[in-house]
A and B are shown apart, each in its own frame.
Chain A
Amino acid sequence: MAVTLDVPFEVLRTAKIKWDEAADELDGNWRRLHKSSIAGFSAEVTAAVEAFREPWVDEIKVAGERAQAHSDEIVLFGQRVWLADADQAERVRALLPWAHSDAGIAGQP
């Protein structure tokens, strides 16, 4: 018996697209922050900029990777979502708008 998630397909499809777009945007953001030039600053200011940049480049990069992973978690075949088991169904449900947070999960693989 297949696992099902009681959510309209369009919601799943949109969620996948939006997580993918978020990943792209954050990917561009951490790269921009990382390469922001520090030429033309004094040594003290340069040190402060580098100290500020480092954790936030990492954080935004991680967020982007997480967004991409979320998008990849939602695997679509035609008009259906692929769900391996109840655990994955819960993970996918947690990526959808909160309004669907109590969507029913039924069946076992």
Chain B
Amino acid sequence: MTVILVPAHVPAFRTLESTPARALTFATDLRAVTVGVKDVQGWAEGIAAPAWQGDTAAAHDHAATRFARRLDNAEAALDRAVTAADRFEARLTILSSLRLRLEEERRAVNGDATTLRADVTASGSAATEAEIAVLQRRGERLMTRATTVIAEIEEWVRRYDDTEADFIAALAGVDTLVEGRLAAEDPGRVDVGPLVERFDSLRGDPERLNAWWLSLTRAQRAALSTEIPHRVGNANGIPARDRDEANRAALTSDLDYWAQRDGDSQLSGEERSAAENAAHIQEQIDEYRAELDPLTGRELLHLLVYAPGSHSGDGAVAIAFGDPDKADHVSVNVPGLTSETSSTDGNLDKTHDLHRAALDEDNGSVSSIYWLDYDAPSGNPIKPWEIPDLGGVALTVKADAGGERFADFIDGLRGSDEGDRAHLTAIGHSYGSTAVGHGLQDGAEVDDAILIGSPGQPESTAASLTDADVWVGSKDHDPVSLLGSGDRGGVGALGHDPAADDFGGVRFETGDGSLRIEDLLGNHTSYFEDESLDNMAHVVADNDHLVTEQPHRGEDGGGHLTLSELLAASTGASVLDGVGTAGEWLWEHSVLGGIL
């Protein structure tokens, strides 16, 4: 009798009862609580009796000292729980990815078994010896695959049970006040003071900071992230994942604190402004929470910079879609004049659009970052030299300062990059392109630079600006792009027109945009659309050969209006009644839009 072994179907196996996303949310909550408790405990400790001073009875009578000591127990317990939750989430993330692979293989084996069974039945008694041999070999291979996947599933279940058991045990170890006190007195407790000192000494050197950070234990990193969350979250060189965790903890803690202050009507003007900025950021996190990074299984959004009270109250924020440390291609786009944290949503949507477009290039993984951590001035984009309290020189100074911060941020990305060196693209829009230009002057290590709607660059040629490939998107009916000095003049307050032929960049196709007054602003703010977006995605994903070009200004086919000609022509082309001049119209409509 001929025997052909066909494996039985591999049964379905357990799902993840505890999910990584849930664990991450819980860990963020715990971290935020720990940040607040540490903040208060640190202050109380600062006014408490030093351990080496005063008799015990006197110190005991000192209420602030008693308060600090008791709160320290809570802090120690929370530190342990944060470390456990962090580890729990990391292990669940790995198990989640592994489960997807196992489930795929299980289904494949079952499908192949069904097919083989049907083939055996179909072959019947008329099958030749050769055909039977083929079926037997298929059956043997399938048995091996089934046995393997069953063993891997059993191992997965064991690891999952261990993961839950370890987390449960860690929490159980600090779920009483007595255990909190013991944790506080544990000689093995992380001494965060020296770690903070070392951390501060390495800030400004992303590579060394990254190497040192990676040498720390999980408990040490967790303790630092809750002790100084703002500093850890905003430090260039700290891994993106850890920056995200620290910044989310700081954000959550801040929002809780300000909510209480607001409830007591005690918020200062500065606090209210910062609280509003923080709320805007939280809204963005919530909006994109459901999107997961296929590369890591974690949330797609990473909060890389969080400083809601900085830059004269405008706040600072940087948000990445995808983990830049792990991605093959990373882009960082910098917005322009009037950008502030409260206008993040529109700019973030553009970054997200670019992220999707670059992923669709199918040339590797992508992380797309929106970066607003410089003091972007506010003012009339058509007459930037007339901005109240600011002259053209001040505008240049702010772009220069922004460029320096941008270059530092890029250094940080290089410092925390994992694996093969990422292909990195800087994108500057409008005044942000001028800031990026200054960053390139400062030596920002990018492979490509995209300058869109640029009012000017600090160098007259791409080659003198950077070693990177320079790409330029300039619609001829975008008035801001006509501000730079170029082949037909230009104000030049912010530098040279990168679309000019003698600049030497590659001018990619964007179209010219509508000539009507009411569309000029749209021309300036629509580079993240249509062929312009496609071309930027080609550059970001390193598909340079797919970029379509249009003639430079000043070369054959590159004829264009000057700014004054454009404003006059567009006034005539308007379908609006009662419009005075294009400049007035633009100014009235640009304030809310963040035109530069």
Contact = CB atoms under 8 A, between A and B. Distances in A.
A59 interface: yes
B589 to A, nearest CB: 41
B171 interface: yes
A26 B36 contact: yes
Given A31-B256, A96-B47, A98-B48, A66 B22 contact: no
Interface string A30-57: 1111001111111111001101101110
| Interface secondary structure of B, over-half rule | helix
Contacts of A94: 61-64
A32 B17 contact: no
A63 interface: yes
B36 A28 contact: yes
A98 B62 contact: yes
B17 A98 contact: no
Nearest to B34: A29
A37 B25 contact: yes
A98 B43 contact: no
Interface in A48-103: 48-49, 51-52, 54-56, 59-60, 63, 66-67, 70, 91, 94-98, 101
B347 interface: no
A95 B168 contact: no
Contacts of A32: 29, 32-33, 36, 252-253, 256
Contacts of A96: 47, 64
Interface string B73-89: 11001100100000000
Nearest to B174: A52
B22 A56 contact: no
B228 interface: no
B385 interface: no
A38 to B, nearest CB: 8
A98 B257 contact: no
B33 A101 contact: no
Contacts, number: 148
A59 B71 CA distance: 8
A6 interface: no
Interface string B14-44: 0001110111011001101100110110011
B205 interface: no
Q: How large is the interface on B (under 10, 10 to 19, 20 to 34, 35 or more residues)?
A: 35 or more
A101 B537 CA distance: 65
Contacts of A60: 33, 37, 74
Nearest to A98: B49
Interface stretch (B185-193, B259-267, B297-305, B496-504): B259-267
A25 B30 contact: no
B219 to A, nearest CB: 17
B585 interface: no
Interface of A: 15, 18, 20-22, 24-33, 36-45, 48-49, 51-52, 54-56, 59-60, 63, 66-67, 70, 91, 94-98, 101
Given A31-B256, A98-B62, 9 more contacts: A29-B256, A37-B25, A42-B164, A55-B175, A56-B78, A59-B70, A94-B62, A98-B53, A98-B59
Interface of B: 17-19, 21-23, 25-26, 29-30, 32-33, 36-37, 39-40, 43-44, 46-50, 53-54, 58-59, 61-65, 67, 70-71, 73-74, 77-78, 81, 164, 167-168, 171-172, 174-177, 180, 252-253, 256-257, 259-261, 264, 266
Closest 8 CB pairs of A and B: A40-B22, A28-B256, A42-B17, A97-B47, A36-B29, A24-B260, A94-B63, A29-B36
